[in-house]
Amino acid sequence: MGSFVQRDGPASRSPAALLLYPPIYDFALYDLFLKPYALCRLGAWLSRAGYRVHLVNAMDYTDAHSVAVLGRPRRDGRGTGKFFRRVVPAPSPVAGMKRSFARYGILEESLKRRIASVRPDVVLVSAGMSYWYPGVIEAIRMVREAHPGVPVILGGIYPTLCPQHAEAHSGADAVVSGAAFPALSALLTGLSLPTTEADPAEELLLLPEANWEAGILRLNRGCPMACVYCSSRLIEPRFLPGDPQLLFRTVRKMHRRFGTRCFAFYDDALLCNKERGFLPFLDEVCRSGMSLSFYLPNAVHLRYLDGACAALMKRAGFAEVRVGFESSRPEFHETLDGKLEASMLDGAVRHLREAGFTFRSITAYVLAGLPGQEAGEVELSIRHAASLGMRVRIAEYSPTPGSALWSRAVELSSFDLASEPLTHNNSVLPMRWRGFTIEDLDRLKALTRRLEEPSAP
């Protein structure tokens, strides 16, 4: 940790914390309920500890200067849509793609001005995907220029999956790998800054800068599954059931304060322990009389989706249901995740249809691009799911350090996965080979669109 610089002012002045959500560099990015959830959760904890909390959100799609220069991003009624975008040269490790590489977020001058407008005692930076680290480096560099000597602490998915890379390249004074607590408490104590209880609940500080046109929610933390292609256990090793009453209060507060009507769940395992968590929450929503819409960008586990659950989800206002199907091959689930049997999809679709969900409101994710996976296997899975009367979307595999499949991915990939997080980006299809090419992926995506057309009601 670098040396701490005490700001001028009364000794009794409350400390200020700057929460920084960096810009994102990627080949493609769409705002499907992308919000600074972790920072808003930390903000609630810091506020209880006596901090004045400021959020600088580089992904703010309302920034006036960026609108004047780049035009207003196209958004929809759910509070989702496009971000500001400027094409930039692709870094050499991922150069040569057909897609353009771009910087997403407010313009650099707007970001610098927002960072400089705060006088922080500490800066907390949240980092998303491992391959989004260029935006983290940019944001921390701006903090250094505006606030030399102020300690910068980096946390999130990137430093959890790639701690050595983050320590060597991010420019942060301290890197928190894994859960924020108790490491963050210890770091703040070492800076002679206040802390409070060690592990905060899923409470959010509803800072306006997060743009609550759309709401984000998380009931449970972690996931009880142990899928070999996933690193969720590294990010949160335990499955921690949430508090449905706290979740409902969060929804009601967002709805009353900002008029928020559309909400997305960030859970990895929303339906687990549903009798004590998810279903009581839905009951509260139904009794409240609020007219809301709920979405599932992360999908839910098929094995827990029964008829009663589907019916209650429909009554509470779920506009869509996304399920993690992954593959129709039994061997896939026997060796890679143990989550389900292919026959479970048929039953789940039947429950959802009986509850009133239509073709366009049910989506199955099929996983593609795993080490050694054949394009033909993915095609069979797509056709199987579509034949049951639902939309299908391809979830492109991203190699994740710490997962059980990581060493196999490093061995087979033609990219330098071990040293360069940019190559983890699923847009480059890091596990491409003669049995699964970029052209195969394009063809399969076109197939999902084609299968959708004749079945739509």
- Read off the pLDDT of residues 206-231 as tens digits, 9 standing for 90 and up: 999 999 999 999 999 999 988 999 98
d(CA 287, CA 120): 43
CA nearest to 66, candidates 123, 5, 112: 112
- Residue 3 is predicted with a pLDDT of 41
Residue 413 identity: S
Co-location of 145 and 228 in the same domain: no
Q: Find all residues with CB under 8 Å of 115, minimum gap 6, and list them.
A: 18, 20, 56, 139, 142, 143, 146, 147
Q: Find all residues with CB under 8 Å of 214, minimum gap 6, and list them.
A: 33, 35, 78, 79, 80, 260, 262, 263, 264
Q: Residue 3 domain-assigned? A: no
Q: Residue 203 domain-assigned? A: no
d(CA 396, CA 429): 8
What is the residue range of 413's domain?
214-452
Phi, psi of 296 (to 5 degrees): -130, 70
Q: How large is the average pLDDT for residues 6-11? A: 45
Q: Residue 60 domain-assigned? A: yes
Over pLDDT 70: what percentage of the chain? 96
Co-location of 140 and 40 in the same domain: yes
Q: Residue 196 domain-assigned? A: no
Q: Kindly report, residue by residue over 410-450, the tens digit of the pLDDT.
A: 999 999 999 999 999 999 999 999 999 999 999 999 999 99
166 pLDDT exceeds 70?
A: yes
Among 190, 224, 239, identify where a domain stops.
190
Co-location of 435 and 300 in the same domain: yes
Co-location of 288 and 176 in the same domain: no
152 pLDDT exceeds 90?
A: yes
Q: How large is the average pLDDT for residues 123-137? A: 98
d(CA 147, CA 265): 35
Over pLDDT 90: what percentage of the chain? 87
Q: Residue 8 domain-assigned? A: no
Co-location of 445 and 387 in the same domain: yes
Q: Kindly report, residue by residue over 61-107, the tens digit of the pLDDT.
A: 999 999 999 999 999 999 999 999 999 999 999 999 989 999 999 99
25 pLDDT exceeds 50?
A: yes
| Residue 73, token pair as written in the block | 């991003």
CATH number of the domain where residue 274 is located: 3.20.20.70
Are the C-beta atoms of 164 and 158 separated by less than 8 Å? no
Beta bridge partners of 265: 217
CA nearest to 394, candidates 436, 431, 432, 448: 448
Q: How large is the average pLDDT for residues 336-355? A: 88
Angle, in degrees to the nearest 10, between helices 343-355 and 307-316 = 40
Beta bridge partners of 391: 363
- Residue 12 is predicted with a pLDDT of 52
β-strand 16-21 against 52-57: which pairing, if any? parallel
Work out the pLDDT band at 454, boundaries 50, 70, 90: low
Strand runs labelled E in 110-239: 122-127, 152-156, 174-175, 214-217
Co-location of 109 and 249 in the same domain: no
Work out the pLDDT band at 19, boundaries 50, 70, 90: very high
Q: Find all residues with CB under 8 Å of 300, minimum gap 6, and list them.
A: 270, 271, 321, 322, 323, 324
Q: Residue 206 domain-assigned? A: no
Residue 73 identity: P
How many domains is the chain built from? 2
- Residue ranges in 236-277 assigned as alpha helix (H): 244-258
- Residue 390 is predicted with a pLDDT of 94
Q: Residue 2 domain-assigned? A: no
CATH number of the domain where residue 118 is located: 3.40.50.280
- Residue 4 is predicted with a pLDDT of 44
Q: Residue 11 domain-assigned? A: no
